[in-house]
Amino acid sequence: MGKLDGFDYIKPNDIEEACKIMAQEGKSIKPFAGGTDLMVQMRAGKIKPELLMDIKGLRLDKIQYLPENKISIGALSTINSIIESELIRSKFPFIIEAAEEMASVQIRNRGTVGGNLCNAAPSADLAQPILATGGIAKVVGENGSREMDLDDFFIGPGKTALSSKEILTEIILDELPEYSGTAYIRLKRNAMDLALAGVATVVTIDEEGKCISAKIVLGAVGPTPIIAEEAANSLIETKLDKLAIEKAASIAEDLSKPIDDVRTNAWYRKKAVKNLTIKALELANRRAAEQLNANTKGGQTI
Ligand SMILES: Cc1cc2nc3c(=O)[nH]c(=O)nc-3n(C[C@H](O)[C@H](O)[C@H](O)COP(=O)(O)OP(=O)(O)OC[C@H]3O[C@@H](n4cnc5c(N)ncnc54)[C@H](O)[C@@H]3O)c2cc1C
């Protein structure tokens, strides 16, 4: 393990101050949120920032309901604050499922949503349900603020569409339509391990139980989370029966681009993607059907 030295530290009190620092500084800057990824990488000598900009003073930790059926999650919301949020639990239960899979209580108390997304590990657990939900990322930096579609956020392992002088401030997710079910399932070797493969799904059904929209996002089986559009589209207009689900899972397997690494090999990951996709779709469909059933009495919609 390397020594943690050779860098400066600064802690702005608000966004304006952070933007000024990013605009003026000639040094290589790294935003520092919970530090649970950053410190490990710095100690291993993988990154050597000249300036650590501690962003914990920026008050970006709100989780709130917005007009037009949108939900905002501040980038500095900790993983545990996600787990404790009734709003997230009721609107996006699969984000809770992903958060509960992550690390330990101690890491979840420090680690943030923004850090998990901006670190851009292909195995990042929150990336998959967040991408499957859809919405936008809000960013500020040396050139002011901008918004980007979450679909465009990840560009490679450890790389996002943010410049080195921008910070993520919040993500704004679209509330799911009625009769939507979600699920996140991942495979790991032991309790504290990163995912070998993970799948997040959303399915929305109509009153006959037919699928009217679907999203499938695969994690840890490509350089970025993979939005398996072709697999999801194959489910539209089906009753999400065994055949339809297995077909979508086979397409998802074909779309995955896993590698061999210390945790497992590419062949195993491909098989895992297929099985996880089947399980996640079955679970999401069951949850959507439960909502539909809860809204009907004696076969009539109430
Ligand atoms: C023991 C252990 C177990 C773990 N288990 C898991 C796991 O199961 N699943 C999982 O997904 N992850 C896991 N992690 C990784 C890590 O805890 C999470 O990714 C966490 O959410 C990172 O958040 P952070 O606030 O600590 O990020 P930081 O370490 O502070 O930052 C990570 C990266 O993102 C950048 N960054 C942070 N916030 C912003 C922002 N708002 N704008 C722009 N850039 C930003 C930083 O500059 C840095 O490059 C684990 C880590 C450890 C040490």
pLDDT tens for 177-199 read 999 999 999 987 776 778 789 99
Q: Within this chain, do residues 150 and 199 fall inside the same structural domain, yes or no?
A: no
The stretches of the chain forming alpha helices (DSSP H) are: 15-24, 38-43, 79-84, 86-91, 93-101, 105-110, 113-119, 127-133, 229-233, 242-255, 266-294
Residue 82 lies in a domain: yes
Residue 197 lies in a domain: yes
Q: What confidence tier does 219 reach under pLDDT thresholds 50, 70, 90? A: very high
For residue 251, the domain's CATH number is 3.30.390.50
pLDDT tens for 142-168 read 889 999 999 999 999 999 999 999 999
DSSP 52-119: EEE-GGG----EEEETTTEEEEETT-BHHHHHH-HHHHHH-HHHHHHHHHSS-HHHHHH-BHHHHHHH
Mean pLDDT calculated for residue range 207-230:
97
pLDDT tens for 4-18 read 678 999 999 999 999
Ligand 1 pocket check: which of 7, 10, 22, 36 to mutate, most ligand atoms within 8 Å of Cβ? 36
For residue 85, the domain's CATH number is 3.30.465.10
On the question of pLDDT at 300 being above 70, the answer is no
- Report how far ligand 1's centroid is from the alpha carbon of 119 (Å): 6
Is 99 near ligand 1, meaning CB less than 6 Å away?
no
Residue 248 lies in a domain: yes
> pLDDT at position 43, please?
94
Is 224 near ligand 1, meaning CB less than 6 Å away?
no
Mean pLDDT calculated for residue range 86-108:
96
CB contact at 8 A, 184 and 280:
yes
Ligand 1 pocket check: which of 107, 128, 130 to mutate, most ligand atoms within 8 Å of Cβ? 107
> pLDDT at position 121, please?
96
Query: How does the average pLDDT of the chain come out, rounded?
Result: 93
> pLDDT at position 297, please?
59
10 Å CB burial of residue 68 (0-12, 13-18, 19+) is: exposed
On the question of pLDDT at 2 being above 50, the answer is no
- Report how far ligand 1's centroid is from the alpha carbon of 208 (Å): 42
Cα 112 to chain centroid, rounded = 11
Q: What confidence tier does 271 reach under pLDDT thresholds 50, 70, 90? A: very high
Q: Within this chain, do residues 169 and 200 fall inside the same structural domain, yes or no?
A: no
On the question of pLDDT at 105 being above 90, the answer is yes
On the question of pLDDT at 240 being above 80, the answer is yes
Q: Please state the domain count of the chain.
A: 3
Q: Within this chain, do residues 69 and 154 fall inside the same structural domain, yes or no?
A: yes
> pLDDT at position 264, please?
81
- Which of 144, 174, 204 terminates a domain? The answer is 174
On the question of pLDDT at 302 being above 60, the answer is no
Q: Within this chain, do residues 202 and 229 fall inside the same structural domain, yes or no?
A: yes
Residue 300 lies in a domain: no
For residue 44, the domain's CATH number is 3.30.43
- Report how far ligand 1's centroid is from the alpha carbon of 111 (Å): 6
Q: Within this chain, do residues 32 and 115 fall inside the same structural domain, yes or no?
A: no
Domain of residue 79, residue span:
60-174
- Which of 124, 150, 174 terminates a domain? The answer is 174
* Closest atom of ligand 1 relative to the 103 alpha carbon: 5
Q: Within this chain, do residues 49 and 86 fall inside the same structural domain, yes or no?
A: no
Ligand 1 pocket check: which of 9, 30, 116 to mutate, most ligand atoms within 8 Å of Cβ? 116
Edge-to-edge strands, sheet with 70-74: 63-66, 70-74, 166-174, 135-141, 144-149
Residue 79 lies in a domain: yes
> pLDDT at position 24, please?
83
Residue 15 lies in a domain: yes
Residue 73 lies in a domain: yes
* Closest atom of ligand 1 relative to the 79 alpha carbon: 21
Q: Within this chain, do residues 69 and 160 fall inside the same structural domain, yes or no?
A: yes
- Which of 174, 209, 238 terminates a domain? The answer is 174
Residue 3 lies in a domain: no
Whole-angstrom CA distances from 163 to 56, 87, 111, 150 are: 20, 31, 21, 15
